[in-house]
Amino acid sequence: MIIYNVTVSINPEIEEEVIKWFKETHIPDVMETNLFKNYQMFKIIEDPTAKVHNSYAIQYELDSWDDFAEYTEKHADRLRGDTQKKYGENILAFRTFLEKC
């Protein structure tokens, strides 16, 4: 199992709007590729005292690296572009991978 982890930092002024869009539009679009088995979304708590959380991790579960290669080849540019067009510099994202041992 492979986890494709997308960490996003969101401008706090539009955080609520962006989270709604992720949940209602973007994540369903990613899942409609049928290359991911499941996903989970987490708030990243940067300061446990203040509970600041304008960063989120979205983890998509894959069966294989071939599935990710297909996602990259056929879908990633369009889906990333949709986010960029809609929110521009108001969202910063970086991507990592986790592999079950």
CATH of the domain at 69: 3.30.70.100
pTM of the model: 0.90
pLDDT at res. 63: 95
| Cα Rg of the chain, angstroms | 14
| 99, part of any domain | no
pLDDT at res. 53: 65
Question: pLDDT tens digit string along 19-74?
Answer: 999 999 999 999 999 999 999 999 998 777 766 668 999 999 999 999 999 999 99
| 66, part of any domain | yes
Cross-strand bridge partners of residue 8:
56, 93
| 101, part of any domain | no
pLDDT at res. 51: 60
Task: Identify which has the larger pLDDT, 95 or 54.
Answer: 95
| 19, part of any domain | yes
Closest alpha carbon to 61 in 89, 29, 36: 36
| 23, part of any domain | yes
Its domain, for residue 8, covers: 2-93
Q: Could you tell me where the beta strands, DSSP code E, fall in the chain? A: 2-10, 38-44, 55-62, 91-99
Average pLDDT over residues 75-90: 96
| 98, part of any domain | no
| 36, part of any domain | yes
Q: How many domains does the chain have?
A: 1
First to last CA, the chain: 9
